[in-house]
Chains A and B, each alone.
Chain A
Amino acid sequence: NAGVTQTPKFQVLKTGQSMTLQCAQDMNHEYMSWYRQDPGMGLRLIHYSVGAGITDQGEVPNGYNVSRSTTEDFPLRLLSAAPSQTSVYFCASSRGVWNTEAFFGQGTRLTVV
């Protein structure tokens, strides 16, 4: 079982460039989310989706866009990369909305120079 797959694992971007972080899950989970992890900040929710066609903002949505055209995929787009977006990004999925464990991808380490 693949679980949650994130690509790429590493990426270096120049300020102002755009890119898409890919996330796919094969567990037929309705709920998917994107987090970023920064030193001393823990995991912070960027965007989430409760099902195909439905997305909403988390704690730190500025500078990021998401879409959910299928149950399996939940890409995260950086519109114009900034050094403040240097972080490790995690995608997660879970079976339901309430009180269920989330499965995480391995993460994408992004550096913006």
Chain B
Amino acid sequence: DQQVKQNSPSLSVQEGRISILNCDYTNSMFDYFLWYKKYPAEGPTFLISISSIKDKNEDGRFTVFLNKSAKHLSLHIVPSQPGDSAVYFCAADNAGNNRKLIWGLGTSLAVNP
């Protein structure tokens, strides 16, 4: 029973265009969401996060949007660069669950030159 779902296993975009990665969740108790990026043979690295009291957080080329009523968040990368090619994981944090992050299965992004 996936509480955090990334329904697109892969995504391919052209360099310079926008990449949109989606994440849906089922548990309304989740109150903090994080995106991680992972290159092959490396550990995940933190990218951006958002608290449930916000609906948008921006950091350079990366913006995360949260729609609580739809239990949906998305990561926008603008403009996309070949170095962004990686697997992106969405993770959700239930503050009442002692920091046990729940992870999606990831979306593999390929940015083509």
Contacts and interface: CB of A to CB of B under 8 A. Distances in A.
Contacts of B45: 103-104
Given A44-B103, A97-B99, A103-B46, 14 more contacts: A40-B105, A43-B101, A45-B101, A48-B98, A48-B99, A56-B98, A90-B44, A97-B98, A99-B32, A99-B93, A101-B34, A102-B46, A104-B44, A106-B41
- Name, among A40, A44, A104, the residue most crowded by chain B CB atoms within 10 Å (CB to CB): A104
B1 to A, nearest CB: 12
B43 A90 contact: yes
Interface of B: 32, 34, 41-46, 49, 51, 89, 91, 93, 95, 98-101, 103-106
A99 B66 CA distance: 16
B46 to A, nearest CB: 4
- Name, among A42, A97, A98, the residue most crowded by chain B CB atoms within 10 Å (CB to CB): A42
Contacts of A74: none
Interface string A25-41: 00000010000000011
Interface band, chain A: 20 to 34
Nearest to A57: B100
A75 interface: no
- Name, among A4, A98, A106, the residue most crowded by chain B CB atoms within 10 Å (CB to CB): A98
